[in-house]
Amino acid sequence: DAPSPRPHPPRPAPVPRGDPSPRRCLADVAEVGADGDPVVRRRAPPRPVRATFVNSLGSSSANLYWAGTAGTPSFRALRMYYGPLGPGGRRTVDAYEGMAFAFTDVGGYGRLGEFVLEAGRETYVLTEEMAGEFRGGFPPRESGGSEAREARSRECRALVAADAESDESEACRTCASAPGCGYSQARGACFVSHPTATVNTVEECDELSGVGDLNSRTVDGWLFRAKALQLFGEGPKAQRLAYRCLQRALERVTLRAGGEDHSAWQSRAVAGVRASLEEQRAKIEGVFDDADHADLLGRSRHPKLAEVHPDMPAVPRLTAEEAREYIVRGEPVVVTDAFDGGWRQPDTADSRSAGAGYPYPFEPTTRLIRDTFGGFVDAVRGAERDAIAGGGGGEEEERLLYYLHEIVMNRDGDAAVAGGSAPSRLRDDLAATTPSLLPLASSQPFFGSLSYAKVWIGQGGVVMPVHYDATDNLYVMAWGRKRAIIGEPGQLGEMYRYPNGHPLVGSSQVNLTDPDLGAYPEFAKARLREVVVGPGDVLFLPAYWWHQFEQPFEGTAAVNFWSVDSDNGPYRHMAHTQLREHQLADALEDSVVRLLGNRAGLVLDALSKGEGSAFSRDVSEDDADGARRALVAAARKWQAEASDLPGGHPLVEADPLKLVEDYLDRTHRAVDMDAEGWKPGTKWSLDRATPLPKRLRERCREAGERSPFMSLCD
């Protein structure tokens, strides 16, 4: 689903020509004089300078980049690659005063030093002292940023705790009257104010308490008012008022269905209102502060994963100003205030394929359906009512979960749905969202433009299994809270990536909910992090970082924005030592695919599992020997290429046979090839896919063989 990465073969470091700096020409600057008439002044162009950069580190190479221009939004963000400098290396460039240049380590984008060019200075030297200061880690939180927000949140929490005996209306007024505090209807507690999740003024507290006497409306009357607010109300305040109306509706319907002799119809009525209330609750929830974040992480950890990885660091939650340092270095971070100026609530894997034509069996258990948005909403709400009422909808033995994902912005940044025009409200939402994201995106290394966006809406309980994308990603939460488990890039051995010809390439074979170290022992060495994101949060996910999104709390909606790199950057594997593992795995499998076509999966399986494998008897000795020779040759070629890249790679000196053995063991040994009747080239079996639910059968039909979907609904 994400845009494909650029081809892997290395290219020479670009030699910048022309002027990558601000325009050469004089600029007209209009000012207003004392008499009110415009005064036009001429501003001098930036002065050209010739700068020589020197790497004086005793034993370390460093990459040199242009990092924007002082006073511009992209200042300090990597923009152009000038290649590696070995110990003692020098490079002279023609540039302009005010331009910034950065040295980074050759294993990633970690800074070793920065310089802003000055008139009259010719030489800029990267020293051990400078590199030591930059390697010291990320700067501390700013006293006026997230630290101040955390301190204020602690004060806000204490307000309602001290006033615990008052009713909700009084608690809301006490909280909202304190500067910077807001009352959470969903939690019945006071936190630091949040643009969507808290009541932030005394006037709104009064409006909520004055919504009307319980008996002033019927159940349908309360539901109708809530629906009108949801559809036509202005901003988050209307959503909070809708939640209050749904609370009234639940109180009313519960009273009407009171007693033990209420009918099944009344039970379903209560379940329907409760489902509507829970759906709306997700839209006024949030992740309020560090204590709340830690509590949510603790309550949602998978016990068996915690046994293997008990100390996963939390991804930091910071202000945009503080987070910028993480973004320019290509590190995950959550930005908590990207939309503080105004907030509208409005499976993706590497698409490379070996191209061998069904070299692996695949029996999906999920059902991929094309439906209308209204049809999806009806299916979700029906399933939620059934779950609350205690029924499974009749025939289904287990609860089904629905998850919508749809591209809503094309490569050019235009709103689009299913390849066609987008509804006006969607266009408006995207137009209102992207301006708040561009300042963050412009700090990404080699940012070119936002390109492709996808909306994700699903029920609580949905899990998008661990995978990586090939482009940088800004993940924007609209409502609800998601948990994410994030892994550093590379780690193909520790994460046991599916092979290229498999439909799940770019995903891990490890089940993070219940990791099996017997089958995947190297997973114990994986480097993982964790985070919870809520409404208004923006998670920056750099390219190739592993991530699994989960919804353990409630239903959610999110939009993620991928981006494309500018043409001035290096290929990812040239800057990231960790990504050279991808090159190795791709080269090994591609060598066998070129030799054996769709029989590659069968032969690689036999080589990985030995003579006892189910398919070893179907593999000739000639095919096995040919594959071994191709694998070793590909490993040696990769070692030669990797040794010429800046920083090389720890495996360039390893025995090529060991590289092949490790690749087969980690990538193929646990791949299930035992599908009845399968042989190379056989299409994937859909026999195990979830049957079409009863509520969809009247308006859905089976799709044809050439359709990417299993069912088509009208």
3-class secondary structure, 198? coil
Q: How far is CA 28 from CA 23, 72, 446, 618, in A?
A: 12, 18, 30, 76
Helix (H) or strand (E) holding 153: helix 146-162
The widest CA-to-CA distance across the chain, in whole angstroms, is 94
- Taking residue 225's Cβ as centre, other Cβ atoms within 10 Å add up to 20
Q: Can 27-134 and 290-351+373-497+510-565 be said to share one CATH topology?
A: no
Per DSSP, the residues of 685-706 read P-TTSPPPPGGGTTTEEEPPTT
Q: How far is CA 299 from CA 100, 483, 490, in A?
A: 45, 11, 29
Q: Please choose, from the candidates 100, 47, 58, the residue with its C-alpha nearest in 3D space to the C-alpha of residue 75.
A: 100
pLDDT tens digit sequence for 31-88: 545 555 555 555 566 789 999 999 999 888 899 999 998 888 778 899 888 888 989 9
What CATH number should be reported for the domain whose range is 27-134?
2.60.40.780
Tell me the H-state helices in 210-343.
219-232, 235-256, 264-281, 290-300, 303-308, 320-328
Tokens of 705: 């063989």
Number of helical H runs and strand E runs in the chain: 18, 27
pLDDT of 429 reads 87
Calculate the dihedral angle through the C-alpha atoms of 432, 438, 441, 445, rounding to the nearest 10 degrees.
160
Tokens 């991804």 found at: 315
Q: Please choose, from the candidates 205, 214, 217, 209, the residue with its C-alpha nearest in 3D space to the C-alpha of residue 175.
A: 205
Q: What is the CA radius of gyration of the chain?
A: 29
Fold of 290-351+373-497+510-565: Jelly Rolls (2.60.120)
Asked if 463 and 551 touch (Cβ cutoff 8 Å), the reply is: yes
Alpha carbons 515 and 644: distance in angstroms, whole number:
37
Question: End-to-end alpha-carbon separation of the chain, Å?
Answer: 24
pLDDT of 650 reads 85
3-class secondary structure, 62? strand
Residue 531: CA count within 13 A, CB half-sphere = 25
pLDDT of 35 reads 57
Domain segments of the chain: what residues? 27-134, 148-284, 290-351+373-497+510-565, 577-667
546 has which bridge partners? 487
> Residue 326: CB partners within 8 Å, gap ≥ 6?
138, 316, 318, 332, 333, 540
Calculate the dihedral angle through the C-alpha atoms of 583, 587, 589, 593, rounding to the nearest 10 degrees.
140
Q: Which residue type is seen at 69?
A: T
Strands (E), 10-107: 27-32, 38-43, 48-55, 62-69, 80-85, 90-96, 99-104
Indicate the DSSP class of residue 6.
Answer: P
pLDDT of 395 reads 47
| Cα 666 from chain centre | 25
pLDDT tens digit sequence for 144-200: 678 888 999 999 999 986 545 668 899 999 999 999 999 999 999 999 999 889 999
> Residue 697: CB partners within 8 Å, gap ≥ 6?
none
pLDDT of 648 reads 79
Alpha carbons 637 and 633: distance in angstroms, whole number:
6
Kindly give the parts of the chain with pLDDT less than 50. 1-30, 32, 163, 260, 343-355, 392-397
